[in-house]
Structure 1
Amino acid sequence: MFSLSWLPDKLYLKIFYFFTTGRYLNFKKPVSFTEKQQWLKVNDRHPEYTQLVDKLAVREHIKEVWGEEHLFPLLGKWESFDDIDFDALPEQFVLKCNHDSGSTNVIRSKAELTPEKLSEMREFYNRRLKRNYYYAGREYPYNGIKPYVIAEQLMKDENAPDKSIEDYKFFCFGGEPKVMFVATDRNTDCRFDFFDMDFNHLDIVNIHPQADKPIPKPEKFEEMKEIAAKLSKGIRFVRIDLYELNGKLYFGEYTFFHGGGFRRCQPEEWEKRLGDWIDIT
């Protein structure tokens, strides 16, 4: 679809929405959760959202509104992969780009960094650094971000250091969190389980299947809801991602278009219910 980057946003979104969902996109009277997210891309633009999706720039925002202690420690930033001094990095760390999604590499030991692995990573990140993520799904906040490769400290659960940490992702509507999901086993067999704000399990299935085991309620669930509301204040719809780790809460990211706004929820009734909560009047 990048070959269609010359198309106007509205036409591109109509084509891509049909390509991914098999449905026609109604911009005039959007109803469903995914339709309304596409409407927001075209009709509800806020330049300040670019700072919030930039994984570097958002750190200043979080420092101001919540506190630096809720950020994963930053180890460095580089305009080119070849500028990275791996000798100066710790034995374990995380690499990602600041301007896109899906570019994370978790390094659990520098022994992994063989010449072949480094060559693959160089090609991967140099390609990513040239990419304007905005064109993929016309998520306008990503347009114009100066790209970097960044390294963060690898954060681990003291009780399960070899296990991927769990994400707690809150769907917030006008500053009110109403639904959230827990992402488990991200590095092996990812599962998404949805809950209401009393942590009752919901029957929503979206992107990944539900876990085949009970999901425990996080200890700081009430505090999570409070900070999700605070971070999403004044925003028609946004997903606020948080982590609970070793008794502390950490910021993950702002996501203005869940799944790019193309991944429909099942059962279908949830597409309508979540869509009803996005106020476009």
Structure 2
Amino acid sequence: MRLFLINTFRFIPDSIYLKLLFYKNVKKFLNLKTPTTFNEKLQWLKLNDRKQEYTKLVDKYEVRNFIKEKIGEKYLIPLLAVWNNASEIDFSKLPNQFVLKCNHDSSSAIICKDKRKINIQETVKKLNRNLKQNAYWYGREWPYKNVKPLIIAEEFLEEEINQPLVDYKVLCFNGKAKFVQVHCGRGTENYTLDFYDLEWNHTTIGQKGINLSKVPLNKPVFLKKMIFLSEILAKDFIHVRVDWYFVKNQLYFGELTFFDGSGFLPFSKTHDDVLLGNLINIQ
């Protein structure tokens, strides 16, 4: 379906295409004249907040320079290598554990926990296939349109033995953090998604099809630091989500996201969509 939409509607103007896609995904008509919800305002931002610097900031390789300049290199996941295509990868030179990903999308990550078990041929095939895709065309997230596709290898981060990482995502509006989104157990049957306010009160904001935690996480010892760093990075933006990992007493930057869920998030309640939408000032 995704490829069908991309190929069929490639030449339709962004505003019209987004109205069609919004109705398909959200089951509502998109109001671009007076947007009120979070999802609507993200579509508005796609069309009206087009700073050229965003292209480098969504690039998982180029954004490293921004992070290094703003808060320091210590928050970057160590980079192992970068290539123009997967055929250049010399797997013999990689450590036993690593992560491979394209710099221009959000779905190409290949996590290797044991190099002896990796299917090199399939890995190369998948990465080269993803290199040919342009993340702009489906959701019309224009910053991705001109990202030069690359493959990067990063060190593998693991919080506990055989336990998936916890994702911390700080939602910032006009440079100020307002909520922390927490993903636990991603990729498992115990996957949960929760929103906490800045005092670490567990809110009822949620998304369809994903459970809230029955027992809230303890307040992270690094919460204030994570919020402080996120606000430095978010200073000049109307809205951005700043992603983090915390491993072995160290915060690591994940990525910057300007259009969370491409603006098609399936909120459990319309109230939540409006609540977050009220925080985006587009005047």
Provide the TM-score with structure 2 as the length reference.
0.95
Distance 2:188 2:261 in 1: 20
Contact 1:34 1:264 in 2 (8 A): no
Contact 1:13 1:138 in 2 (8 A): yes
Matched, 1:26 2:28: no
Tell me what 2:207 maps to. Answer: 206
Tell me what 1:218 maps to. Answer: 220
Q: Secondary structure at the match of 1:252?
A: strand
Matched, 1:236 2:231: no
Tell me what 1:194 maps to. Answer: 195
Tell me how far 1:211 sits from its aligned partner: 2.5
Structure 1 residues 56-75: aligned runs within 5 Å = 56-75=61-80
Matched, 1:270 2:272: yes
Tell me what 1:178 maps to. Answer: 178
RMSD: 1.2
Deviations 1:92-136 (A, max 9, x none): 0001100111111110001212xxx32322221111101111111
Tell me what 2:158 maps to. Answer: 156
Structure 1 residues 22-101: aligned runs within 5 Å = 22-101=27-106
Contact 1:77 1:150 in 2 (8 A): yes
Tell me what 2:6 maps to. Answer: 2
Tell me how far 1:244 sits from its aligned partner: 1.5
What is the identity, as a one-letter code, of the residue corresponding to 1:179?
F
Tell me what 1:126 maps to. Answer: 128
Distance 1:147 1:100 in 2: 9
Q: Secondary structure at the match of 1:269?
A: helix
Contact 2:202 2:216 in 1 (8 A): no
Distance 2:70 2:271 in 1: 35
Q: Secondary structure at the match of 2:163?
A: coil
Contact 1:218 1:244 in 2 (8 A): no
Contact 1:203 1:267 in 2 (8 A): no
Provide the TM-score with structure 1 as the length reference.
0.95
What is the identity, as a one-letter code, of the residue corresponding to 2:104?
H
Distance 1:119 1:187 in 2: 24
Contact 1:168 1:180 in 2 (8 A): yes
Distance 1:151 1:98 in 2: 10
Tell me how far 1:259 sits from its aligned partner: 0.5
For these two proteins, the number of residue pairs brought into alignment is 276
What is the identity, as a one-letter code, of the residue corresponding to 1:166?
V
Structure 1 residues 102-117: aligned runs within 5 Å = 102-113=107-118, 117=119
Deviations 1:12-36 (A, max 9, x none): 1001000111110011111101000
Tell me how far 1:69 sits from its aligned partner: 1.0
Distance 2:158 2:124 in 1: 26
Distance 1:264 1:73 in 2: 34
Runs of 5+ consecutive residues of structure 2 not aligned to the other structure? none
Distance 2:258 2:267 in 1: 16
What is the identity, as a one-letter code, of the residue corresponding to 2:59?
D
Q: Secondary structure at the match of 2:32?
A: coil
